[in-house]
Structure formats: C-alpha cells, structure tokens
Amino acid sequence: MKVTVLGCGASLGTPASGGFWGACDPAEPKNARSRASILVQSEKTNILVDASYDLRMQLNRVGLNRMDGVLLSHSHSDHINGLDDLRIFSYHASDLVNVYSDDETISEIIRRWPYLFSGGGEGVYPPCLRTHKIGFYQKISIGDIELGTFEQEHKTCKTLGFRFGNLAYSVDTVDLNEKSLAHLKGIETWIVDGGGYHNENVSTHANLKRVMKWVEILKPKMTYLTVMTTRMDYKTLCGELPAHIRPAYDGLEIEVG
C-alpha cells in the first residue's frame, strides 16, 4: 500500500484566509498546508480518509479519478465539508460512493447534505453516496485493503482512528485510552495529531510532549505530525524534534508494508 498525505493543516489551513502565515515562513513550500486528509491506495483500491474543504484541489493534485471508499473520522466541518466534491466519482462510476463512519457522524452528514444520500430536486439530482456505520475497535475491508478502527478523545467528541497494517492515522485527538494504545502496538509508521504544539494545557489536540510520550510507549520507526497550525513552522519543527518524529507536509508519500 501507499499512503499520501493530501493535507496536514489544522482547520484554518496555512496560510489561513487573508494570507495569515503566523510563525510559518512563506518561503518554505512545506509550510503551505491544506486541511488534514490522507489517501490510502493499493494497486486495486483507493480509500480517502476525511473529506476536507480542500478536497477537489487535493485529489486533482494526485490525479485521482476513482474512489472505492471514504472514511470519516468525525463530523467537524474541516473533515466533512468536501463531501459534495465526491458527486463526480459517483457520476463517472455509475454507482454510489461508499462512506464509512460512526453513527453520530453519519447522522450529521445526512442532516447537512440530504440530497447526496437520497437525491433531490424531484429527481433532478440523483443520490451519490451510500453510508455504512462502523464503530470503535472494528475490522473492515474496502476492496483489497483491510483496516481497523480505534477510539480517540477529542474533548468535544470521540473520533475514529484508523490502522492500515503497520501504519496508523490519528487525526484530531487529544488523548488515547489504554485499549487504543494496545490496539496501536506494533505499528511502524504513525501519522498523529500534534496541533497542541507547545501548549501546556491541551484541550482538543495533543501537544508535542504528549505525542513524544506516546511514541516512547509505542516505538514506531517513524512518526509524522499532522493537524499543524500557523504557529508550527516546518524548519523550526525539524530542529525541535528527534529524527524519528518529523512534521508531515502536503504530498508526503509513505510506503506501507
């Protein structure tokens, strides 16, 4: 499998609207971040994890024109507001696109975009998406890719974490319980929320201190930070972090054994 980081930014992106770069150097291309999302691919299957505001741009950048499944970590806007951009995949495949998430997230996306699931305009707009409810600590297959889910604490809600073989993706998490840490044992690569950066009092996103504590427990070969804010300059982070923890960047490709 191959995992591509489509976006590694926080909810505002970098630069934020208005050209606000914060502490990030505009001359460093890896500071230009769209909202957090990844693409997981085998030779036969394409799986999107989260549908951000920037989805059209992200998918065009990697030249993707077929979608086999979409995983949603939770229902916050920066992770679901690109769902409308999936309509074109349904049209070209003459089939509904399969979307997987927990009960709360499924209910929210149907409430916000009913036409995507049941059609609208008296038959003018056909349905495009099909929902599948999944829970924590569940194993499923999409095409020829097997994956497992685990629970994450985001304070305002629980979020789904995803494990694909020896790679795990933990977006929008401030804490992990013992069961989830046990579920992550044996991973070699971890893409994890570090958006709390140097905040001592973490609320919704883990800080670097907490991420490094988890890394000590799990011992992945490589950890990449995601959900990075405008306070998190790429080169500054590289200087602050040990070699086995790096900031992700849009377009990063990771081979998964």
Over residues 99-110, the pLDDT tens digits come to: 999 999 999 999
Q: Provide the number of structural domains found in the chain.
A: 1
User: The domain containing residue 24 runs over which residues?
Assistant: 2-255
A 10 A CB-CB count for 88 gives 15
A 10 A CB-CB count for 144 gives 11
pLDDT given for residue 101 in this prediction: 98
Q: Summarize the chain as % helix, strand, coil (round to 5).
A: 25, 30, 45
Mean of per-residue pLDDT scores for the chain: 97
CA distance 54 to 44: 25
Joined together, the tokens standing for residue 136 give: 């924590």
CATH number for 52: 3.60.15.10
Judged by DSSP in three states, 22 sits in coil
Return the percentage of the chain with pLDDT > 70, whole number.
Answer: 100
Instruction: Answer yes or no: is pLDDT of 67 > 90.
Output: yes
pLDDT given for residue 124 in this prediction: 82
Instruction: For residue 44, count CB atoms less than 10 angstroms from its CB and return exposed for 0-12, middle for 13-18, buried for 19 or more.
Output: exposed
